[in-house]
Amino acid sequence: MNTLGAASSGVRSVRAVLFDLDGTLLDTAADISVALNRALAEQGLPELAPAVVRVLIGGGVPALIGRTLARLGAGAAAVDAEALLDRFTFHYGCINRHEEMQTRAYPGVAEGLAQLHALGLKLAVVTNKPRQATIELLTRLGLARPIRAVVGGDSVAHRKPHAEGLLRACEELRVGPREALMVGDSLTDVLAARAAGLSVICVPYGYNEGADPRSLPCDAFVESVADLPPLLIASGIVALA
């Protein structure tokens, strides 16, 4: 089993775990693709294949829109990025409030969150997605109960990879950075954790802007969130409740 050494990571004991959302807890790519293509169609622009959109995900909606326009090149030069962002947000909100939603939790997420909660750990989500949209998704998928804090991209002045969101979550949970760790799927998450002084664990199945998540310079990997509780126990940085 992978272990997370207390001495090497700077963690003495873990009291809180912070999670990224898209690509870590939830597979949102299908709904993001549908919403983006609806917004593009309204602008008279060609649709992008879901596999292409998946590579563009990361860093929040403004980054997604910027990468989309860059991908489309000269044909999208006259498009108002803010208008496209607004229409994407509208369509994505409609999808998330109706039965057509395809977003699902990754295997092991519900079990892992429940096990971490049972160990007495405080849990938070730190995402570049808007806070209210995040809460609605977690609630609809039955994952909200063990989550004590949600910090969205609109909750702070600086989004990940800046440290502000992670430090805000630690403050809301009343733990220090050395008492928390971050779980994510991208370089954005790793950089944010390093900047905030947190250890970081990565999952191998996320987006990471198309790059292999296993190449990330994190402290450890888990195949699923369900593997996180035994990793922490085996590493000796969290005690059995």
Instruction: List residues with catalytic annotation.
Output: 20
Residue 93 has phi, psi (to 5 degrees) of: -65, -40
Rounded Cα distance, 198 and 195, in Å: 8
Can you say whether residue 44 is alpha, beta or left, with left for phi > 0 and alpha for psi between -120 and 50 degrees?
left
- Residue 53 tokens, joined: 């959109």
Contacts of 67 (CB under 8 A, 6+ apart): 56
End-to-end alpha-carbon separation of the chain, Å?
A: 21
CB 15 within 8 A of CB 179: yes
The total number of residues shown for the chain amounts to: 241
